[in-house]
Amino acid sequence: MNFKKALLGLALPLLLGNGVVVAEESYQQKLAGLYCEPGDGDLSVIEFERGKKERVSTGKCQFGDYHIEFYQHVDLVHSCYNQNAFCGIRSDNKSITDDFIVVVKNINGDVVTTNIDMDEGASVMELYRVPTNFPYMALRANIGGARSTAYLHFFTAKPSFKEVISIGPVSGWRNDGKYIYSNERGEWLVDKFVTVPTPHNSALANWLHLPVVYKLVDDHLERADEHIKDNLKIYSDSELDDIDEEAQQIRAFIDAQTATKWGVVNLLFSGRSDLPLSGKFFWRFSDFVYEGQEQLAWQFFERAMPESYDMLIEDLVPESMYATKSVMRETMKNWINEYFPLRVEK
């Protein structure tokens, strides 16, 4: 089959849940040498004999000199996420041991790799549709879970098939094309979903989950510090006034306390729905840090934390990480240096 010729006019009908038929078109990335066409279209309209344990094709690709096919098992019989024809779904039937949902073959028909060779054990593997001039084929391995976690794998077929980079986790909820994009410098960027602990590592710990931008450099990824610096969020005067009001409210609360540091630390770091100020100090501080605006983070710290904190009764603060304002400042500084040591002089 000539996949390139098929690209010129092939568009298989796809029946949506509301009965509307749309065209599921072929897909190509010219720079990467990737050409794909749909497989059996909407699997929900295919009839099978009861008890058959076979795989059906959901999409076929030519990638340089290699052929790639995506499958799902008959017992599933439904379309992939967002009616994407180019994906494979693993069977949840324990009697089925053949879990190949992506198969890559060379020109001789020999299997080069499958989804089993990727470590995540994903139940869904998709061909991720990137900008057409992106130089690699991108497969997204969807793991699922509360945050719909996914991993991205980048492949080249030049001069031979190999995985170049894998990155993750990324949020599987994103279907806006913003995993992989370029900036005005011509750099290819990827948003990685980062999970880091809060600085105290105690019973108060609430993990932070947020995207950080990485750039593609010579077949590897590194954090895109310059891009982050060039794209700092610009806060309006009204937003800065609201932030300052938050800091003053936190400061007034601490000034008014006659109890222990533990209650104050709880308010600063651990979110509680019954306390209006709860968690706002750390959320605001960490937002500034991960935006690359450490200077604003420290301005907020100084505005919110009064010297009167030092006079509160010392009690259950873990390892005295917040024994005084100066110790708290050092604790926060060490946390920044470990997880996001970005310096922005603006």
Read off the pLDDT band of 154 (50, 70, 90): very high
Tell me, yes or no, whether 104 lies in a domain: yes
Of 320, 310, 208, nearest to 269 (Cα)? 208
Tell me, yes or no, whether 279 lies in a domain: yes
Tell me, yes or no, whether 286 lies in a domain: yes
DSSP assignment string, 4-33: HHHHTT-EEEEE-TTS-EEEEE-EEETTTT
Mean pLDDT for all residues in the chain: 78
The pLDDT of residue 213: 86
Same domain? For 19 and 153 the reply is yes
Tell me, yes or no, whether 344 lies in a domain: no
- Report how far residue 91's alpha carbon sits from residue 79's, in angstroms, rounded to the nearest whole number: 13
Q: Which stretches does DSSP call E strand in the chain?
A: 11-15, 21-25, 27-29, 34-38, 55-63, 66-73, 87-89, 102-105, 111-114, 124-127, 137-144, 149-156, 162-171, 180-182, 188-196, 208-217, 220-223
Inform me whether the pLDDT recorded for 63 exceeds 70. Answer: yes
- Give percent of the chain above pLDDT 70: 74
For the chain, the domain total comes to: 2
- Of 288 and 42, the one with more pLDDT: 288
Residues in the chain: 346
Q: State pLDDT tens for residues 227-256.
A: 988 888 888 999 999 999 999 999 999 999
The pLDDT of residue 5: 36
- Do the Cβ atoms of 187 and 215 come closer than 8 Å? yes
Q: State pLDDT tens for residues 16-28.
A: 333 333 335 788 9
- Do the Cβ atoms of 150 and 170 come closer than 8 Å? yes
Same domain? For 170 and 254 the reply is no
Q: State pLDDT tens for residues 212-227.
A: 888 999 888 888 888 9
Same domain? For 167 and 286 the reply is no
Cis upstream peptide for 341 (omega within 30°): no
Inform me whether the pLDDT recorded for 115 exceeds 80. Answer: yes
The pLDDT of residue 12: 36
Q: Which of 182, 205, 221 is the last residue of a domain?
A: 182
Inform me whether the pLDDT recorded for 4 exceeds 50. Answer: no
Domain that holds residue 305: 237-339
- Report how far residue 197's alpha carbon sits from residue 195's, in angstroms, rounded to the nearest whole number: 7
pTM of the model: 0.73
Q: State pLDDT tens for residues 175-185.
A: 555 678 899 99
Q: Which of 151, 182, 213 is the last residue of a domain?
A: 182
Tell me, yes or no, whether 144 lies in a domain: yes
